[in-house]
Structure formats: C-alpha cells, structure tokens
C-alpha cells in the first residue's frame, strides 16, 4: 500500500470516527445599520461568535445607529455685506435646521447624517445592555471585560441558549433573554 493510500485511508477513518463538524446554529455578520454584529441562522458566511465578528469587522465612517435620515437641504445662504454669497458645499454639513427634532445632526468624516435619538438610545440602553427590557439577563458571551449580547433582526435569526427565549424588541431588533 502506498503512502498516499495510507494517508487517504487514515483521513477517511479519522473523519468517520470523529464525524463531520456540525454547522453552528447561527453565525454572526456585521450589520451596517446598527454598526455591530448580528446573529443569523441563514447566513452563508460569518463568524462563530459575536466577539470574533466584532474584532474582525471594523467598518469606518458609519455615523448613525439604526436607519438614518438624509439631511434636509440647507437654508439659502444669507448674502454677505459685500453682496456675495458663499456656495453651499455638498455633501451638506450639519446646520441648525438640518434634522427634525427627533434626530441629531452628526458630522462624519465625509458625510453628515440625521441620526435618530431613539435608535441611538436603543443601541446603547437595550441592544448592548446585559439586561433585557423585562430585567432578565441577556443572552450573549463575555470576552475579557466586554459582554457581547446576542441580537438578530428577527427571532428566526437567533439560537438562544438553554433557559433563554427570544424577545422581539421592535421591528428591527430581537434579543435572547433569560430568567430573572
């Protein structure tokens, strides 16, 4: 028997004894709307843990958490005392009337956007919180001193751990929550 045959036979026996690895119940992929990694059971590619996804998915120059609004057109510039007006620069930068009261105007490196105050609060007080809205412990993983919650767009995306259930936070986010 040749060395190559022994190698293939060994690989076959090793694979048969130990079985094929089972696919992960969910993968984590970067969600540009929320600027964080979300779980998905249907993703073809992704990371096995949220911590790994977050460490490897550094996207630059995203501004808002959640869906953003475009800036309103800036007001017509007031002529200077000498009669000249300065041209309006595009992409528009933040100005007093750029966004509705429900949003903050935020300048990024290249663009400005109207970011929802509600979604920014949701990102930090609900999505990333170690507790769920009902006070129970959120499902997730700890790496070092950072706790990464397991979130998805819908409950169909999440494989919550034992003793946990999926809670639909709103139309955009679901989260694994456990016992109090």
At 98 the pLDDT is 74
DSSP string, 53-71: HHHH----S---SSS-BPP
Cα dihedral sign, 124-125-128-130: positive
pLDDT tens for each residue of 130-160: 999 999 999 999 988 999 999 999 999 999 9
Does the pLDDT of residue 50 top 80, yes or no? yes
At 61 the pLDDT is 56
Does the pLDDT of residue 8 top 50, yes or no? no
- pLDDT above 70 coverage of the chain, percent: 67
At 74 the pLDDT is 57
Structure tokens at 121: 């609060």
Range of weakest confidence among 33-42, 47-56, 89-98, 110-119: 89-98
* Mean pLDDT of all residues in 99-106: 86
pTM of the model: 0.68
* Mean pLDDT of all residues in 110-114: 76
At 180 the pLDDT is 58
Q: What is the mean pLDDT of the chain?
A: 77
At 113 the pLDDT is 80
* Mean pLDDT of all residues in 116-131: 90
* Confidence grade of residue 72 (pLDDT, cut at 50, 70, 90): low
At 60 the pLDDT is 61
Does the pLDDT of residue 10 top 50, yes or no? no
Comparison of pLDDT for 66 and 52, the residue scoring more: 52
Query: What is the three-class DSSP state of 91?
Result: coil
Q: How far apart are CA 17 and CA 33, in angstroms?
A: 44
Contacting residues for 135 by C-beta, under 8 A, at least 6 apart: 180
Task: Evaluate whether 125 touches 33 at the Cβ level (below 8 Å).
Answer: no
């Amino acid at each position: 028997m040749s060395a190559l045959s022994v190698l293939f036979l060994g690989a076959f026996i090793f694979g048969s004894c130990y079985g094929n690895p089972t696919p992960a119940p969910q993968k984590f992929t970067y969600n540009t709307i929320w600027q964080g990694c979300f779980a998905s059971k249907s993703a073809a590619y992704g990371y096995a843990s949220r911590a790994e996804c977050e460490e490897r998915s550094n996207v630059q120059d995203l501004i808002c958490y959640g869906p953003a609004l475009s800036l309103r057109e800036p007001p017509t510039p007031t002529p200077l005392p000498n009669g000249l007006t300065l041209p309006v620069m595009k992409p528009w930068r933040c100005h007093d009337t750029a966004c509705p009261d429900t949003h903050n105007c935020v300048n990024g490196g290249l663009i400005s956007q109207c970011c929802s105050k509600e979604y920014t609060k949701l990102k930090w007080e609900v999505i990333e919180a170690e507790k769920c809205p009902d006070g129970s412990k959120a499902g997730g993983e700890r790496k070092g001193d950072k706790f990464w919650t397991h979130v998805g767009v819908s409950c169909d995306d999440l494989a919550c751990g034992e003793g946990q259930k999926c809670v639909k936070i709103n139309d955009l986010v679901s989260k694994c929550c456990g016992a109090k």
